[in-house]
A and B are shown apart, each in its own frame.
Chain A
Amino acid sequence: MKMEKFNKVIQELKKIGIVLVTLIILSKLIFFKEDFLVVIKFWFTMFWSFVLPGFLIMTIFREKFDFIERLIIGSVLGLAFMSLVSYVIGLIGIHLRIHGIIIPVFVVGLYLYLEWKNGER
């Protein structure tokens, strides 16, 4: 049962991946004067830094809200959460330069750990 839930999240992450790729391709058409690499960097950073952490946090509510609602609110939540955590850890001395890497890694790691613990039970 727990593995089934985890697999559902993996399926949803694949959908997010499809959204990311679609946005990158369409953005390149829209921002036609822009270098493709910049378009990729922008959306990848957006998804890595905000959408992914926020969506993983929203898996807590997967029984209550559908995928679309969790993706939209998760994106905004990810932006808010990352910004707040970044501000606080900056004040305690961790340089802003690495926040965009360590915070998502921490959130993903924590999520995987909690899923594993739930699976063990």
Chain B
Amino acid sequence: MMKLSGRVVESTILLLFVVAMLFTGWATLMDHEISHTYPYGYGSSDSFIHYNLAETAKQFGKLQYFAPWYVWGHDDVEICQSPLMYDTSGMFSFISGIETYDLNMAFAMLAPILISLIMYLLIRKLNKNVALLSLPLGLLSYTQPFSFIFSFGALPHALSWVYAIGAVWAGVNIRVKYVWVLLYVFMTASFMTHSPEMLIVSFLVLLIMVVELFKEKDKIAYVKPYIYAGVMFVVLNSFELIRFFGMNMMRFESVAATRVKHEFGIPFPVITDFPVYILVILGIGVLLSVWLLTKKQHPAAIITSLFFLVAGYGNYFHLDKRAIHIRMLWPVLLSIFFGIVVYMIIKSLSKKRAMYQTAAIALIVLFSVQFAPASPLHGFMTEDRYEGFVWLRENTPEDAIVHYMYCDECSQTNMLGIGHRESFVVRAEDIISTVQNGSIKREYLFSPASEGCSVGKPHRESLLSWKYGFYEHEEGALKGRYFKDICEADYVFFEKESQAEVLEKYNMYIAAVLLKNDFTELVYQNDRVAIIHNKKPGEKCIENGKIQ
């Protein structure tokens, strides 16, 4: 019987693992499609801002400023998000023809696979069989609650962790000539994809450096590549660092630890979310790993996983939400603890190499079946709703103003940016109180349809300073809400369906009242959406009064 070489077996197991992760993760969560007719699986406002920024990059050929439609027509508002993922997504979209909303998800879904493979390389330095046996734990990445990283919109976070773990790999291999350049590249890519990951992993890279430093005879020669990478990072990224610190993008928040277990009704992962038997294995693995630290030549993989175990509790020491993102990746970051225990069990039964490889294959197959998500991701975008936004984008003037009346998920205001028009959305509390009053009116409380720093609208005054907020008539909006006259809008967007039936009927009542004017026209509708065009913005279109 032909004996396969170790390399071939290793490659086959890795390929099997990648395919298993693709099947269990990306394929199942995205309903076995790569491309969709609308943003699929998008369950939060953050998901949509990533889509909107990628589309901005495509539209303008680069990403430096927010699109004017996002920021009240201003063309000099700098983005305060790290730009790299959007640029990458836009570039990939041009070549492949796949929409950026699918590509953003794809990159995030591929992140646990890539992180697993890099962790494999780190663990392999310790022991190849432990590395193979560590792989299967990664298959939990796509189970709830770990998979919230995708529906919750932490997409650039996931990609940034790929680069950050790449930087750990580079730190571990820093003695190889020129690897310090890779350390610089990975740190920069992480910083410019989503900065907190780079900041957190810097501590890990420094920790590994200090641990290895004790073993080195020529300590200065060992430290030099780190210095080269650090200097190169600061010098070549100086413009971005100025932007980062100048726009106050680094904030340490002190919040109650309980806040990062649940938010908006969403449970974030905690250690007890691992199945009990895996939790027991991990616990034993942690103890074994700490013991091994004192014995082994290549402790980097163990140090890495212990670091992320502790950092996952970072909500207790100022890491706030970043601790959640680490926990969402615990299945791949803590995998060595699993692999070590399974290795020890098999070693006690048999010393044949084939046993470890067979066990790895069996676990990959078993976990693919056991931990496959039960259903695809459910976002709140529907095809009808998306078609309404696209109609606005393709059929209205670029400077058109759109008012969105009540819809169930319109509080996720970045979703409204899909229309690529300056948009305002009515505040639910105002609509509800107006309905309770039994009245109809022209002026409602609105919020601008943009979040985060775009509400503050930073525009550069000089190399080192920015001005926020704005022009006098926009001052009120800095507080995020103010009264606007719906008769001033060029287009009014209604949804015909709502979980709150009374608000659904109120929407249709306002639409009917608007259409009584001879200068308004229903220009688009489908099963969910109706869009009314106001040809005379500013002219009286509704009489304040009681509902008839």
Contacts and interface: CB of A to CB of B under 8 A. Distances in A.
Contact of A101 (B95, B121, B178): B95
A41 B185 contact: no
B475 interface: no
B261 to A, nearest CB: 32
A33 B31 contact: yes
A78 to B, nearest CB: 10
A68 to B, nearest CB: 6
B21 to A, nearest CB: 10
Given A19-B15, A68-B11, A83-B88, A96 B57 contact: yes
Contacts of A33: 31-33
Q: Which of A33, A64, A84 has the most CB of B within 10 A?
A: A84
Contact of A87 (B34, B63, B173): B63
B91 A86 contact: yes
Interface of A: 19, 22-23, 26-27, 30-35, 38-39, 41-42, 44-45, 48-49, 60-61, 64-69, 72-73, 75-77, 79-84, 86-87, 90-91, 93-101
Interface residues of B, number: 55
Nearest to A92: B62
Given A38-B34, A100-B91, 16 more contacts: A23-B19, A30-B27, A34-B32, A34-B35, A49-B91, A68-B11, A68-B121, A73-B182, A77-B182, A80-B163, A83-B192, A84-B84, A84-B188, A94-B61, A95-B61, A101-B95
A82 B32 contact: no
13 contacts: A34-B32, A38-B34, A41-B98, A65-B173, A72-B121, A73-B118, A73-B121, A77-B182, A82-B88, A87-B192, A90-B62, A96-B87, A98-B94
A83 B169 CA distance: 19
A58 to B, nearest CB: 9
B64 A91 contact: yes
The 3 closest A-B CB pairs, nearest first, are A90-B62, A95-B61, A80-B189
B66 to A, nearest CB: 15
Contacts of B95: 45, 48-49, 100-101
A86 B62 CA distance: 9
B114 interface: yes
A10 to B, nearest CB: 18
Given A80-B189, A96-B57, A30 B32 contact: yes
Nearest to A72: B117
A79 B92 CA distance: 11
B83 interface: yes
A96 B93 CA distance: 10
Contacts of B88: 79, 82-83, 86
Interface string B71-96: 00000000000011101101110111
B22 interface: yes
B446 interface: no
Interface in B155-186: 162-163, 166, 169, 173, 176, 178-179, 182, 185-186
Q: Which of A33, A81, A87, A96 has the most CB of B within 10 A?
A: A96
A26 B97 CA distance: 21
B34 A76 contact: no
A31 B176 CA distance: 40
B421 interface: no
Interface of B: 7, 10-11, 14-15, 18-19, 22-23, 27, 31-35, 57-58, 61-64, 83-85, 87-88, 90-92, 94-98, 106, 114, 117-118, 120-121, 162-163, 166, 169, 173, 176, 178-179, 182, 185-186, 188-189, 192-193
A89 to B, nearest CB: 9
Contact of A22 (B7, B15, B106, B178): B15
A25 B98 CA distance: 19
Contact of B22 (A27, A87, A96): A27
B91 A82 contact: yes
Given A84-B192, A99-B91, A38 B163 contact: no
Contact of B97 (A22, A41, A75, A76): A41
B34 A31 contact: yes
B218 to A, nearest CB: 19
A86 B87 contact: yes
A26 B22 CA distance: 10
Nearest to B121: A69
B106 A42 contact: yes
A61 to B, nearest CB: 6
A67 B10 CA distance: 12
Contacts of A34: 32-35
A68 B186 CA distance: 19
Given A34-B34, A69-B121, A96-B91, A80 B61 contact: no
A30 B90 CA distance: 25
Nearest to B88: A83
A41 B85 CA distance: 19
A49 B88 CA distance: 10
